[in-house]
Structure 1
Amino acid sequence: MSVELRLMELETRVAFQDDALMTMSDEIARQQRDIERLQLQLAALARRQEDLAGQVGEPLGDEPPPPHY
């Protein structure tokens, strides 16, 4: 196999690897945005749950177990 052919093969491999890395990087960035959005939604839901528990007068989750326990 000639040096030129090997060099061309290596350049092709590097190009495919660069593309794969860019695709993975874009996906990781998208997932990070999704995680941040979900964390904000979770925090909002937790605040809402606390507000509702305050309106009821007792904290949610501190209820005694049902009689069959």
Structure 2
Amino acid sequence: MANNEITLSAHSINANYVQRLEERVDDLESRNVFQDDVIDQLSEELAAHQHEISELKHQIQLVANRIKDVGSLSSDNENDNIEPPPPHY
């Protein structure tokens, strides 16, 4: 009878151990799914930010080109408004 009790006790311990392992695996799988979801969200946000940065760089380049054009036009107008020096110079 003692042998049967030891076997049942060992079986009970083994079943408890297996149950705890299953719970831990389930917890890890849960975390893994959650982390995959967060990674996907962050990846989408990163792609959106990269697109926005690209658009902003393009807009800055357009503004810089317009400033150059206005600067060159105003310098041409300044040259037109400057009187030539008198002939005795």
Q: Same fold (TM over 0.5)?
A: yes
Whether 1:54 aligns to 2:72 is: yes
**Please, what TM-score do these two structures have when normalized by structure 1?**
0.80
1:20 aligned residue: 38
Give the helix-richer structure, 1 or 2.
2
Q: Which runs of 4+ in 1 moved over 2 A?
A: none
Q: Taking CA–CA contacts closer than 8 Å with sequence separation of 6 or more, which of the two structures ends up with the larger relative contact order?
A: 1
User: What count of residue pairs does the alignment treat as equivalent?
Assistant: 58
Whether 1:30 aligns to 2:48 is: yes
Q: Between the two proteins, what is the percent identity of the paired residues? A: 33
**Please, what TM-score do these two structures have when normalized by structure 2?**
0.62
In the alignment, structure 2 segments of 5+ residues that lack a partner are 1-18, 77-89
In the alignment, structure 1 segments of 5+ residues that lack a partner are 59-69
